[in-house]
Amino acid sequence: MLKSILVASDLSSRAKPAVQRAVQLADATGAKLAVLHVVEDDLVESRVREEISNAETFLSDQIAGLGAPSHVEVAVVTGHAFHTIGEEARAREADLIVMGAHRRQFLRDVFVGTTIERVTRTAGRPVLMANSKTGERWRKVFIATDMSDASGYAARKAHELGLLDGADVTFVHGYAPITRQMMTHAGIPTERVHAEAEKEFQSTRRELGRFIQSLDLGDLSYNARIIEGVGADAIAGLVEQAKPDLLVIGTRGLSGVRRLFLGSVAQELMGSVEIDVLAVPPQA
């Protein structure tokens, strides 16, 4: 269950849904909540003091306007955003970091990622990217899985933190019907192609069922859905069609050149879908 939440705000309109979501979660779970703003430390001292004062006033007024519970701390510190967010989360033993969707700067993001992506890779905590403007509790949750250890860990972590409680949970797995594609290209009769494709689908369905059962999620009620297609585009397409409130994804923790050339489904989804996304790194 959630015990401590850190929400990072850059004071922009993009950060408001994050603060709103963090307040909702703290109110629902009784978790401690800290609202953090980082002032860049390369400013002159007088400017730093002014920025700190303005941020403290802004955030205090914002959380008061959201009807936040009394156990909310406003923290304004100096440093570099993604380093400091991770440090503050570890120092406070936060179970969850909440952030808003960040504006993208293409060339910079290709090589180092947005602040939220860098925090996800380095902070060692689950990171919730809040997009929802309503802040209402999640009723429909999708868990994207490729049946890897990373996706299984993400599901277990979301369950452990109580983020799936009371929601309609669906595991989503994308697959490529390789047998059908190969047989079609080879000119095999259509009826046989369909029969073999159905066998392949049923085999995948059984494998997915065994994988989910192995996660030991207790009495969690869930559905499983298999879609044709793999990667971020397939998941994003289903999200657009089915409109869940939350998408849970595991990350592989790639960085540098490996991240640039291998890419990241989690990273692509965080940049393309317009719902709340919980990204769980392997070390969280």
Q: Are strands 140-144 and 168-175 parallel, antiparallel or unpaired?
A: parallel
Element of type H or E holding 8: strand 4-8
Identify the weakest region by mean pLDDT among 67-71, 110-114, 263-267. 110-114
**Tokens standing for residue 161:** 């933190």
Averaged over 13-34, what is the pLDDT? Answer: 94
pLDDT score recorded for residue 255: 52
**Tokens standing for residue 112:** 């180092």
Alpha carbons 247 and 106: distance in angstroms, whole number: 24
Averaged over 133-146, what is the pLDDT? Answer: 94
Is residue 98 within 8 A of residue 8, CB to CB? The reply is: yes
Give the global pTM: 0.88
Question: How would residue 217 be classed by pLDDT, with cut points 50, 70 and 90?
Answer: very high
* 209 pLDDT above the threshold of 80: yes
Which domains are assigned to the chain? 1-131 (3.40.50.620), 137-284 (3.40.50.620)
Alpha carbons 100 and 200: distance in angstroms, whole number: 40
Identify the weakest region by mean pLDDT among 60-69, 82-91, 193-202. 193-202
* Geometric angle at alpha carbon 117, from 241 and 224, rounded to 5°: 35
pLDDT score recorded for residue 6: 98
* Geometric angle at alpha carbon 161, from 156 and 167, rounded to 5°: 80
Query: Rounded mean pLDDT of the chain?
Result: 86
Task: Name which residue leads in pLDDT, 153 or 111.
Answer: 153
pLDDT score recorded for residue 242: 97
List % helix, strand, coil for the chain (3-state, nearest 5). 50, 20, 30
**Tokens standing for residue 186:** 């080879």
